[in-house]
Structure 1
Amino acid sequence: MIYLDYAATTPMCQEAIAAYAEAAAVYFGNESSLHDVGTKAKQLLTLCRRELAAMINGEAEGVYFTSGGTEANVLAVRSLVAARRQNGNHLITTEIEHASLHHLFKQLETEGYRVTYLPVDRFGRIRLEDLERAITPQTILASIQHANSEIGTTQPLADIGRLLRARGVLFHSDCVQTFAKIQLDVKAMAIDSISVSAHKVYGPKGVGAVYIDPRRHWSPVFRGATHESGFRPGTVNVPGIAAFITAAKQLYDRMESEQAHFERLRRRLLDAITVKQLPITVEGHPDYRLAHIVGLTVNGLDGQLVMLECNRAGIAISTGSACQVGQQAPSRTMLAVGKTPEEAKQFVRISFGMATTQSDIDELVSTLEQMILPQKGGWTG
């Protein structure tokens, strides 16, 4: 099987597997325990906090480990909003956030908060003037993703951060798709909080992290929680965290070469689509985007059908965010960039990883060509 769905999840790298095994065998203690076995686990956890903080130019005391990206998003936003509730009840986000945040903001609306959902242009980018106009004296927090998981478009975080900080609005960003892939600097970007996830960077599933600027006050979502400085309950998954940070550091250290590899693969795919004159539209921003995520509208074919036919040919792709697969409604991202519901259902996502080769891209293009141009002797349904 040719795997081209790395934006959904990645396989654990060998270094992460080895780190997990060693940590589970040697650092098995509860890091909250006061004996030497617990202290040993706590020391490893402290080292992991420092490593993660260094990768985002943050402070170790601002790192809180979670069970994944979804919990990271929910706890970050809720804990920051709760601490500033007395200052206002207005929140800002975008129409194309990950499902975990979209559903959270819908829930917050039922709890007395007002939410502004910023529109995006046809490339999936917000307009800074829309953000500035949306801010009111009651605005306490804005949550704007770093990159969209379906089309790869990135937002201008530094510009957004400067604007929000000047207006006294807290800034959270979902960085699950970008962490360890493109440079993140929470200080230079004026970000107050970010969320990241292990299984997007060749680490284990069920592990993630929140970073909150230590200068920002937050209020615990779970009253009485004692783990992670009261940020969340439950014994900390030290082996999983060790595997997460090991994988992330491996990816972070080869960030430049990985991006160059992805750019070559992307160019090969897009050139082939052009040369073969396939009726496929490339979605997302041509410049401000992740190299490894390619959103495509296969004109005239349902995305679900394209995905299933690729699967039959031994190629794994997706029809969008894995967190929304199986839903009948078309992609919110596609609708937000101006597609009709029918057009939105023609969307598929290709995403590369470290093991993706040029021959994988060639095989994908050949499969798409047979599907789209049956008169040439290919797929006939």
Structure 2
Amino acid sequence: MSSYFDYAATCPIDEEALEAYVKASREFYGNTRSLHDSGTKAEVLLSHCRKTLANLLGVNKEGIYFTSGGTESNLLAMEGLMKAGKGNHLITSAAEHSSVKNSAEKLEADGYEVSWVPLTKDGTIDVSELENLMREDTVLVCIQHVNSDIGTIQPIGRIREVCDKWGAWLHSDCVQSFGKVELNSIIPCLDSFSLSSHKIYGPKGSGALYISPSVSFQPLLPNGTHEAGVRAGTVNTPGIAAFTTAAAKSIRELQERQTKIKALKREFLTALKDIRSQVKVVGESGNSVPIIGLCIHGFEGQWVMLEANRRGYAFSTGSACQVGSEGFPSILTAVGLNKEEAKSFIRLSFSHDQTSEDIQGIVECLKEIAAEYAVLSSQVEKPAFYK
């Protein structure tokens, strides 16, 4: 029985992807920029992976750049696009991954102006407020497609319409949506987007950035030879091969996986009925994003997480990259939760490989913790963990 419910943080590597990694490590070990036969052989594999990923996404392969993952991809996109623009203004949101927030703060320190668009109570971008923030010198809007903490899907099409009115580029962090929701309708809306391998059962340390070939920009580091100069350093050929294998499988099985995830989420919420009055779902629970965010009244999320871990179950209190010093993701206060509510937040993320037995197991775990808390509350006025 699976006791792991933190797939939004990272996934175990798929067997087919692992086989591709091992094969590429053994047989395609040459440096792709070397001119001898081993280098040429590795370059052919790299080109095949680029073409395959581009076909899966429906984009021009000339715009695909392989990276170390979503964080690097977001940094390269934001730095490159802002410096390529004629203006000085960037717009992003409090819902973004920490790599986008940190890149925005770096750009601000470098002299660019940054505006932060607020969210609605349901966790989506307030499009009317976005339009109010747009200016003649707005170069770039950075809005993630799917939130990593509460699973909300942003209205990329409407955001694109606003960007078009002002001539701004649109970048989206698609790390939590690629391979989990359909992207065909939003990709034409984007000038650039980021992907990560280990979120779709590929290896860690591999990902991709797409920037439309129509956008002329300068790389972060000059004079690079790999990835058309956009990303310096020897490419991770085995990781890219495994990433491409995992991506192809996730797209091939997308509909089947979506159906399974929706069923697991429904079963989970139904099974919680005994303590449902104590539970508040944060964000969207009915879509195919394998994430459910919960606030459990009377509990601290970190305590619940540690108690579950003691029982052998793994989940989180939010994205491992961006839980702040106060112990909860910033998006929670951005959607209107107070700090006490936010401290009670936990995030469960699911896998298509899980079963009904797995769901019943995690629910029983949460019920046991609730029952133990009730006993503890009756014995002491206020538990130490809640102070």
Establish whether TM, by shorter chain, passes 0.5: yes
Which residue number corresponds to residue 234 of structure 1?
A: 233
Matches within 5 A, 1:1-381: 2-84=3-85, 87-185=86-184, 189-286=188-285, 289-325=287-323, 327-374=325-372
Assess, with a 3 A threshold, how the Cα gap between structure 1 residues 166 and 39 changes in structure 2: closer, same or farther: farther
Shift of 1:234: 0.6
Q: Tell me if structure 2 keeps the 8 A contact 1:16–1:203.
A: yes
Matched residue SS, 1:180? coil
Give the aligned residue type for 2:123: G
Shift of 1:31: 0.8
Give the aligned residue type for 2:231: R
Q: Distance in 1 between matches of 2:122 and 2:155?
A: 13
Q: Distance in 1 between matches of 2:337 and 2:179?
A: 31
Give the aligned residue type for 1:364: I
Assess, with a 3 A threshold, how the Cα gap between structure 1 residues 187 and 145 changes in structure 2: closer, same or farther: closer
Give the aligned residue type for 2:30: G
Shift of 1:211: 0.4
Matched residue SS, 1:145? coil
Shift of 1:167: 2.2
TM-score, normalization: structure 1?
0.95
Matched residue SS, 1:108? helix
Q: Tell me if structure 2 keeps the 8 A contact 1:303–1:345.
A: yes
User: Per-residue displacement from partner, 1:58-79 (whole Å, max 9, x unpaired)?
Assistant: 1101000011110011011111
Q: Tell me if structure 2 keeps the 8 A contact 1:318–1:350.
A: yes
Matched residue SS, 2:189? coil
User: Per-residue displacement from partner, 1:255-295 (whole Å, max 9, x unpaired)?
Assistant: 001010000110011112235434010110355x5431000
Shift of 1:162: 2.9
Assess, with a 3 A threshold, how the Cα gap between structure 1 residues 115 and 186 changes in structure 2: closer, same or farther: farther
Shift of 1:188: 5.5
Q: Tell which deviates more after alignment, 144-153 or 32-41.
A: 32-41
Assess, with a 3 A threshold, how the Cα gap between structure 1 residues 375 and 341 changes in structure 2: closer, same or farther: closer
Matched residue SS, 1:45? helix
Matched residue SS, 1:117? strand
Matched residue SS, 1:31? coil
Q: Tell me if structure 2 keeps the 8 A contact 1:68–1:209.
A: yes
Q: Tell me if structure 2 keeps the 8 A contact 1:303–1:319.
A: yes
Give the aligned residue type for 1:62: G
Q: Distance in 1 between matches of 2:358 and 2:211?
A: 40
Q: Distance in 2 between matches of 1:329 and 1:348?
A: 11
Shift of 1:248: 1.2
Matched residue SS, 1:373? helix
Give the aligned residue type for 2:180: K
Q: Distance in 2 between matches of 1:375 and 1:77?
A: 46
Give the aligned residue type for 2:338: T
Assess, with a 3 A threshold, how the Cα gap between structure 1 residues 223 and 270 changes in structure 2: closer, same or farther: same
Give the aligned residue type for 2:48: L
User: Per-residue displacement from partner, 1:297-325 (whole Å, max 9, x unpaired)?
Assistant: 01111000000111111110101001135
Q: Tell me if structure 2 keeps the 8 A contact 1:331–1:345.
A: no
Give the aligned residue type for 2:22: A
Q: Distance in 2 between matches of 1:260 and 1:74?
A: 34
Give the aligned residue type for 1:349: R
User: Per-residue displacement from partner, 1:107-132 (whole Å, max 9, x unpaired)?
Assistant: 11111111111111111101221111
Matched residue SS, 1:372? helix
**RMSD of equivalent CA atoms:** 1.9
Q: Distance in 2 between matches of 1:326 and 1:375?
A: 26
User: Per-residue displacement from partner, 1:45-89 (whole Å, max 9, x unpaired)?
Assistant: 1111111112221110100001111001101111111111xx110
Using the aligned pairs only, state the percent identity: 44
Matched residue SS, 1:3? coil
Q: Tell me if structure 1 keeps the 8 A contact 2:68–2:205.
A: yes
Shift of 1:20: 0.6
TM-score, normalization: structure 2?
0.93
Q: Distance in 2 between matches of 1:277 and 1:170?
A: 43
Q: Tell me if structure 2 keeps the 8 A contact 1:152–1:290.
A: no
Give the aligned residue type for 2:67: T
Q: Distance in 1 between matches of 2:108 and 2:332?
A: 24
Give the aligned residue type for 1:141: L
Q: Tell me if structure 1 keeps the 8 A contact 2:261–2:290.
A: yes
Shift of 1:189: 3.8
User: Per-residue displacement from partner, 1:175-224 (whole Å, max 9, x unpaired)?
Assistant: 00011111113775420000000000111111111001111111111011
Q: How many residues align?
A: 378
Shift of 1:373: 3.0
Shift of 1:159: 2.0
Q: Distance in 2 between matches of 1:254 and 1:233?
A: 33
Give the aligned residue type for 1:298: I
Q: Distance in 2 between matches of 1:341 and 1:181?
A: 31
Matched residue SS, 1:25? helix
Matched residue SS, 1:323? coil
Q: Tell which deviates more after alignment, 276-285 or 121-130.
A: 276-285
